[in-house]
Structures are given as structure tokens and as C-alpha cells.
Amino acid sequence: MVGAATGGAAQLHNPGAAAGLTPAQEDDIIALPWPGPAADYAAVAAGLVVPGPVAHWRARAQCVTLAHAGGVLTAHHWPAAPAPGVCLKAPVVLLHGGSGSWTHWLRMLGPLTQAGHPVWALDMPGFGASDPLPGQQDADDMLPVLAAGLRHWLGGQPVQIMGFSLGGMTAALLAAAYPALVRQLLLVGPPGLGLRDKPIYRLRGWRHLEDAQEQLRRHCYNLAALMLCDTSRIDRDTLALHTANVQRDRLPRRRLASTDVLRRTLPRLACPVQAVYGEQDVLYRGLWPQVADCFNGQLQLLPGAGHWVQYEAPQAFAELVLPRLW
């Protein structure tokens, strides 16, 4: 995700607007995708349910940490597991989106490791299992710690980074500040291009709600408003993954993504840069020629997918990006 799960703007992508519903009624548009019971709703809403695929990949990961002034930076590492006849390839570093963690990349871990890539998925400071830095406000504050992590875990070799949403914007800032550490960038749905005065989506707050089902309805609404184009893909596992992530977002006031910081940074980058968006991504839907200009034409769109494109259309995404990695 790009920002915290609150906020508002005019001209919104709003699942209930066409029906003329009140804000309170909007939360009921997407019914909870399983029938309970109430105790299960409460566990999912609290971020306590671990979906099977998350447990699978967590059990196979080497979880490593690096101390910093506010606690630790955490990464999950999976060695390459190439199919017979597939050569070992260069490592891939994954950076997640806002209000996220390594699980934003859950459905790409298999394709990447099977294609021969060792994978390092970092939880950025203030998200997932990584502690925020003292005084940290936004992505630009975390660059020295991320650079220290890359040097510590990957020996300072130039690496290829795939960054999703906030992680894509952060990866570009990192490459500008530490060019010797970055070999290639593949940015997935990054914000920070400054092409809209106001967002066309609205996310609804949930932390003030006491009822678990009401919280989950807000999460469903927010997933439909920003993250996923096809609401039928919002199932119990997706909700459990999402709630576990947003519960651990300790940087709710970040605002850099709403500026043009990425557009101003791109001309300074020395490494190759490619961008991938879901064609229905509400960040820039309808503005693709302008987005392509920002990336000097190095833009690929995946039809029928929204912002969280690598989760919504994993096979098509893998087929698109794997040939572009070293």
C-alpha cells in the first residue's frame, strides 16, 4: 500500500459511490468472505491468524536481523531452488509496500527461487518485524539502515531490487543515495510521481472500531478501494495477511508518497530502471502516457490487475518480470 489506512479526497474511487450509499453503508458492500465464527473473525482482525502459504514460506526462511538505534532491521532469506536444468542467477532483494511486510511478495517467492534467484525480502523500518528508527517519519529516513543491511547480508555487491509501491519509491531513493549498491531496479506500482493533485481512492479508518467484524469490513473495503481490482480475490487468507501487516504499521503519518519525489529522483539514477503497474491501478489509472514519460518508456502494464499486481495476477506478473532479471 502507499499510505496509512486512513484519509480522504475528492473524486474518489469508492465502491459504494455509484449506489449512492452513505459512508456507513459502504462498509457492507463487500460481505466478509467466510461465515465466521465470531472467534475466528476476532483472531483475523487482531492479526493473529497465519495463512497456510505464509506459514509455509516462513518455515523455510532464514530470518536474520541487524541492530540499529531503534531496535533491529529484519530480513527473510530463501536460497535458490532451481528446477532441473535451470542455472543459478543473481540475488533479488524485495521491498514491500506501505503498511506491509515481506508477505506482500508471498506469491512471488516460488517463481523467483525456482527460476534460480536467491531472495532477500526486507521488512523496512517501522513495518513488519523491523523496528522504527528514532525520529523516523518516512521512507527517506530509512535509507542508511537499508544500505547497511544490504552491505551486511550481501557483502556490498550491487543487487537488483524489486520494490512494490512504497518499497519501489524507497528503492529509487536508495539507488540515488547509494548507487554502488544497486545494479537494477524493477519498480512495481510505485507512487511519488506527482501526477494527481488528489488521489482518486479513499481508505477508511478502522483502528477506532471495537467490533472485529466492523474492522474486517473496513479492511475489505480498503483492499477493494486501493489494492485489488477483482474483489472476488479478497478471501480469508488475504484478509489475514493484510490485517497482520496493517496492525504492525508504526509509520501512519508518512506523506512522501503523495509528492513527486520519485519523478524528481529518476533522472539521477545510474542503474537501469523498469516499471510495472496493474492497468487498473488507481494510483495512475488513465494517466499511463504520463507515467511512461516519467520512466522514459520503460513501463509495462498488466491488464485486469490493480495496485497489488504481483498478488492479484502472480502468474502473469512472473512471466513478465522473470526475463527482465539477471
Residue 19 confidence (pLDDT): 37
What average pLDDT score do residues 7-31 get?
Answer: 46
Residue 11 confidence (pLDDT): 30
Nearest by Cα to 301 from 265, 271, 277, 269 = 277
The residues that bridge with 182 in the sheet, in sequence order, are 159
Query: pLDDT tens-digit profile of 41-54?
Result: 999 999 999 999 99
Domain spans of the chain? Answer: 17-324
Average pLDDT across the chain, whole number: 91
Place of cell 506501505: 98
Residue 260 has pLDDT above 80, yes or no: yes
Query: pLDDT tens-digit profile of 100-118?
Result: 999 999 999 999 999 999 9
Out of 8-22, 218-232, 244-258, 285-299, pick the least confident.
Answer: 8-22
Residue bearing the bigger pLDDT, 62 or 14: 62
Residue 152 confidence (pLDDT): 97
What average pLDDT score do residues 87-102 get?
Answer: 96
Residue bearing the bigger pLDDT, 206 or 31: 206
In whole angstroms, give the CA distance from residue 251 to residue 132.
Answer: 8
Buried-state track 199-208, b at ≥16 Cβ within 10 A, e below 16: bbbbbbebee
Residue 27 confidence (pLDDT): 52
Residue 275 has pLDDT above 90, yes or no: yes
Residue 204 confidence (pLDDT): 92
What average pLDDT score do residues 122-132 get?
Answer: 97
Residue bearing the bigger pLDDT, 271 or 26: 271
Query: pLDDT tens-digit profile of 138-191?
Result: 999 999 999 999 999 999 999 999 999 999 999 999 999 999 999 999 999 999
What average pLDDT score do residues 213-220 get?
Answer: 95
DSSP code string of 207-252: TT---HHHHHHHHHHHIIIII-S-GGG--HHHHHHHHHHHTT---T
150's enclosing H/E stretch is helix 143-154
In whole angstroms, give the CA distance from residue 115 to residue 18.
Answer: 44
Residue 193 has pLDDT above 90, yes or no: yes
Residue 28 has pLDDT above 70, yes or no: no
H helix count then E strand count, the chain? 12, 8
Query: Cβ distance 190 to 3 under 8 Å?
Result: no
Residue bearing the bigger pLDDT, 29 or 154: 154
Residue 7 confidence (pLDDT): 28
Residue 199 confidence (pLDDT): 85
Residue 168 confidence (pLDDT): 98
In whole angstroms, give the CA distance from residue 82 to residue 62.
Answer: 18
Query: Cβ distance 136 to 256 under 8 Å?
Result: no
Q: Cβ–Cβ contacts within 10 Å for residue 296, how many? A: 11
The class that CATH gives domain 17-324 is: alpha beta
Residue 23 confidence (pLDDT): 54
What average pLDDT score do residues 252-262 get?
Answer: 90
